[in-house]
Structure 1
Amino acid sequence: MGYSYRDAGVDIEAGNEAAERLKPIAARTLRPEVLGGLGGFGGLFSLDLRKYPDPVLVSGTDGVGTKLRLAFQMDRHTTIGQDAVAMCVNDVLVQGAEPLFFLDYLALGRVAPERIADIVSGVADGCAEAGCALLGGETAEMPGFYAPDEYDIAGFAVGVVNRDCLVDGRGIEAGDLLIGLKSSGLHSNGYSLTRKIMAPYPLTTIFPELGEPLGEVLLRPTRIYVKTVLPLVQSGKIRGMAHITGGGLTENIPRILPQGLGVEIDRGAWQVPGIFSLLQKLGEVEEAEMYCTYNMGIGFVLLIHAQDSENVLKMLERGGEAPVILGRAEPGEGVNYR
């Protein structure tokens, strides 16, 4: 008898079982605009042109990176999907867009239906938090390419904003304030350096600076800022935004500034979470390197007119945020810390 696909390491029956498990998970994220369900060759979404009569579609794509190694080590897979969603929808939000739908791509060495359900449940949690539909995805079993218990996940989000509400930073002026929204920790950036620094320490280690096991802190999922920020966008009070990912505050804020403008940030305006201080101490990392690698406790930044600050801060607080005035825009270039 000749070889079968199963002999090559691909289990079609397990793949079918995984697909059936995913249908009810995705169903809890559906929006009225979704046509059909999972299983088609393409996901269908009908854009509401009454709400968006002059629509601009905004897309973003990303993965989770080497944070996945921690999920493997801890054998915990229910939150990593939220990281994949967050990295995409927060990028889309920067332009003022409402995330509409998300699709994921999951590649793995061996199909384990329960593990796939855990991973995609995290994706669905992220979509529910962002208010977007999990419109579809792809699961690729790749034996011999990935180890049996390893995988990679990436995805993309599509959002929409009316052209006259598009946030592109062009209106930012000297004197505008920077409002920081706090992160939940490292989010999904800097993990190659983090793993190098923390390699000698078991993930069960409880450092005084953390007060909980190291692995719990490092695996905490990326925050999603859509529900608190989108109402501000719709109010017209936001002049620019930045998602603080790889490159930290130092590299991400200048991406939205008009030519001839920089920002001044007061490093004493917020308390840097203990994980960052611990990494800097154990790795003997220079402060400038910390600020251009990690978010340092600030995951999202808004630029607003100074005269709008009271109203904006109140709106954010009502949305459950603890916003921080980081500094202001000024003539110059780049980010200056004081």
Structure 2
Amino acid sequence: MAIQTLFGSLKDDEPRKPEQEEEALETSRGFFGRMKQAVTRTRENLSAQLDQALSFTRTVDESDLEDLEAILLTADIGLSTTTEIIGRLRERAKREGIESGSALKNLLKQEIKSILDDVQRVVRPPSTPPEVILMVGVNGTGKTTTSGKLAAFFQSQNRSTLLCAADTFRAAAIEQLEVWSQRSGVPVIKTRQGGDPSAALFDALDAAKKRETQVVLVDTAGRLHTKAGLMAELDKMRRIAQKFVAGAPHQVFLVIDATTGQNGLQQARLFTESAGVTGIVLTKLDGTAKGGIVVAIAHELKLPVVFCGIGEKMDDLLQFDSAAFVEGLFN
């Protein structure tokens, strides 16, 4: 079976040595284990309630679906998404004759995975580098930290990377990114605090072209004097990127703090409308029982979660995988 990710695939016809097969298997086990650990609090909240509500169900009826609806809402899947899921389950229960709580639970897993898979897409790097990725989001979500972790991730994929410190508004944002630059060994292009972020972006893109760098990660401001000012600045940076690099920005990652739940979803709506978001990076997934927000984002915004943060270490950033996430929620 081909291993498919958001950033490419390993084809079946690419032969691998036995030691490579074993290494891939261990990597897969480790990944699923880390994802399962990341959603522990959500799983404990969700599965305990599901087991209590459905363990003695002999025939699925409307009261079971009502109980299930209330349980999904507590996981912060959201009213709109929950209503959609329950509607699908109701139809399938009638059509397929579901007669047990375990069968209903399996259908629920299928429906959640289907919602997540519908928005996933494989991203191919541009034929002519650099690939420009804008990191956007409000202050406090972990945007700068995530930029540093992503830089380390791309470096580990043997893709040369450059950081751009374009958050010139927040005090110490540039210094924070410099720390991550030192940790990851990824160079950073910066300007002074209070300087023009678009100028920093111009310098970074110029440097990336001269150095033939493959990826440029741009840490943008999370707050200006007004929301209108923030969005205007992001729009200006998009225009500069487009003029300097064909097709740029190639991706716009919105960083959301998972612990904010539905408030994070409101942030996502604002940035999606104004900044052309292509994917979500969900931080602090390990610190919340509201991991269901992943499903709400996929259903309501039609956006994939591309990475999730699960800790403070350099490698505590996982590529999102729908199968691992769903199994982590229920297993």
Specify the TM-score bucket, using the shorter chain as the normaliser: under 0.3
Structure in which a larger fraction of residues adopt helix: 2
Structure in which a larger fraction of residues adopt strand: 1
Higher RCO, Cα 8 Å, sep 6+: 2
Q: Could you state the TM-score of these two structures normalised by the residue count of structure 1?
A: 0.25
Q: Could you state the TM-score of these two structures normalised by the residue count of structure 2?
A: 0.25
